[in-house]
Amino acid sequence: MSGTSLAIPPHLLTVYRGLALLSKDRIQRLRAIAEHIASASYDIVCLQEIWIYKDYEMVREEIQHVLPFSRFFHTGALGSGLAIFTRFPLIGAQALPYSLSGTPAQVFAGDFFVKKAAGNVVILHPVLGEVEIWNTHMHAAGEHGPDTRQSHRIAQSWQLASAIRGGAAKGRYILVMGDFNSQPGSVPIAIMRDHANLQDSFLVAHPSANTDLPHPPSSAEALIKYGTTCDSPLCTYSAGKPIPGNVLEHGGKRLDYIFYRQPAVARRRPLVWKYRDDAGSTGAENGGSSLSGDAYIESGKPLQDSMAQAPKLRCISSEVILTDRVPGHQFSYSDHFALLSTFVIEGPSQQYQSHEPPSATDSESHGPSTANSLEPLISQNDPERIGSNLYAAGDPFKYPSDGNSLSHSTSIPSTQKSTTIRTALNTLRLYTRISQNTAKRHLQICLLALLALIGLTVGCAWQPKSWLQPIFTIVGALLGATAATFLYTGFVWGRWEEGLLAEITEEMELELRVVEMEENMNR
């Protein structure tokens, strides 16, 4: 893949509920999703809620000829349910279990036991170099308020955003996708936008997606203009759900996203690590979808040459897909529709032109001279031009402008970011008090259960009826289990959650002080 304008289409498929025995039509839907992926020309696919490893193996076997590299992420008692498939080789991978992911008292919600997480892989792209891909599925409670119910999701988004910033600081392009269980105007999405400096690909392709239409949209119109992926009347799995009226008016909810951003700084290693497939001209370098398996990695150009190349990733289209029924059946592919975004890789000469989608001629043109025309991300001869809009390594408070660097999204006003952090802090502080009160109540219940157990044990010795003995034994066992459970949720988990909330809060407070310092410097 090389050329003036290169299309690399990362795709997100938000997949089915995959718990064995509990999921409706699981096998049929999974096979249909795998067949769809196998017949398409995707470069990156992220799936959520694949709880069963054999299901992952089945998908991998079905699509291995088009997406030969994949990773399944293991977290919690039941796993994270996350999997990433890609056409490009993996050079790194990790799971990021979220510190806060529901409570043990919320047994039927299940988030605490599956341990919601984000999965990360680093791929080697022939033009962009290292690209970080994040696949996440966040906590599912509290989207309808009060705000304190989404505190765990706020903490998760902050944890993920901090990890994303670390990847961008290494000079990597970033793609973040998954089920965020948050609507566009929520605090978690604001954190992804303002703290991680991510761009929403659907919003880039549809600038009015977050504004209300003058009239309630039809279900089909909501898919196109709002990007609704969940609770759509068009989805068979939405039937019978208690969906609020305001959600139905908008044709569903937009909970699934594909975010992206450019690197924050110049690379500290060569940009282009070549990835070749000498078996044919349709290999990875030319954007083909077939791989022989004989590909290898070799050293890129010297550092001074790689720093003189700064391609830019831009979204040209984003759409909701897989909205029809599974072929031959009367049910949908999933309770969430899939989201598909297509990107192009541009050189600096194109970044100043109109942001119209490139023509077919541009997309297909290629040649060795293209890479040499790219402008430097940071000038090697003058790396610290303090006072200019160019990011200088010695000035941590300089944000790059769109014209002189890769990072379009880092030009977010500090006041917007500080407002987001203050809102998140207020919510977390309020939730911390609620959590402390809940822990106290659970400890009180534990104490009452222990007192009742002691009384039952003493009374058991004085009761004259032998037939009451089994009842006393059963009740005593229940009281003992109750005391142990509430001791864990009240003391162990209560202290645990309080400490994790304090850690996230202190991180946010520190970042807020830095942002306020930037604001004072810019006045």
Max CA separation in the chain (angstroms): 98
E-strand stretches of 254-402: 256-261, 275-276, 296-297, 312-321, 338-346
C-alpha 315/C-alpha 310 separation (Å) is 17
pLDDT tens digits, residue range 185-214? 999 999 999 999 999 999 999 998 888 777
Question: In which residue are the tokens 């408070």 written?
Answer: 397
pTM: 0.75
The residue among 342, 351, 252, 271 whose CA lies nearest residue 309 is 271
Q: What are the C-alpha distances in Å from 371 to residues 59, 129, 262, 283?
A: 36, 13, 17, 19
Q: Is the dihedral of CA 50, 210, 153, 482 positive or negative?
A: negative
Residue ranges in the chain whose pLDDT is less than 70: 1-23, 76, 107-111, 141-147, 266-310, 348-414, 523
The residue among 364, 368, 348 whose CA lies nearest residue 287 is 364
C-alpha 428/C-alpha 497 separation (Å) is 12
3 state DSSP class of 96 = strand
Q: What are the C-alpha distances in Å from 331 to residues 29, 158, 236, 324?
A: 9, 36, 6, 9
Instruction: For the chain, state the CA radius of gyration.
Output: 26
Residue 120 pLDDT: 96
The residue among 30, 86, 23 whose CA lies nearest residue 55 is 30
C-alpha 120/C-alpha 409 separation (Å) is 21
* Burial class (CB within 10 angstroms; exposed 0-12, middle 13-18, buried 19+) of 324: exposed
Q: Is the dihedral of CA 190, 191, 193, 198 positive or negative?
A: negative
Residue 377 pLDDT: 37
Q: Do 464 and 523 form a contact (C-beta atoms < 8 A)?
A: no
C-alpha 499/C-alpha 493 separation (Å) is 10
C-alpha 295/C-alpha 312 separation (Å) is 25
Work out the angle at residue 428's Cα, subtended by the Cα atoms of residues 426 and 429, and round it to the nearest 5 degrees.
Answer: 65
Secondary structure, 3-state, 10-28? EEECCCCCCCCCCCCCHHH
The residue among 252, 138, 246 whose CA lies nearest residue 187 is 138
Q: Do 326 and 333 form a contact (C-beta atoms < 8 A)?
A: yes
Work out the angle at residue 26's Cα, subtended by the Cα atoms of residues 22 and 27, and round it to the nearest 5 degrees.
Answer: 135
Could you give the strand order of the β-sheet that contains 256-261, starting from the edge strand earlier in sequence?
90-97, 117-125, 129-137, 173-179, 256-261, 199-200
pLDDT tens digits, residue range 401-432? 333 333 344 445 557 889 999 999 999 999 99
Work out the angle at residue 467's Cα, subtended by the Cα atoms of residues 463 and 473, and round it to the nearest 5 degrees.
Answer: 75
